Amino acid sequence: TGSVYVFRTSDGGATYGQVAKLTASDAAGDKFGYSVAVVDGATIVVGAPNGEAAYVFRTTDGGATYDEVAKLTASDAAYSDYFGRHVAIDGDTVLVGAYFENNRRGAVYVYRTTDNWATHTETKPRT
Fold for 4-123, please state it. Answer: Neuraminidase (2.120.10)
Listed residue (124, 54, 50, 52) closest to 94, CA to CA: 54
pLDDT of residue 124: 67
- Across 37-58, average pLDDT: 91
Angle value at C-alpha 123, between 122 and 124, nearest 5 degrees: 120
Whether the pLDDT of residue 104 is over 80: the answer is no
Q: Round to whole Å and give the CA distance between 95 and 122.
A: 10
- Across 31-57, average pLDDT: 91
Whether the pLDDT of residue 50 is over 80: the answer is yes
Whether the pLDDT of residue 95 is over 90: the answer is yes
Indicate yes or no: pTM above 0.85. yes
Whether the pLDDT of residue 106 is over 80: the answer is no
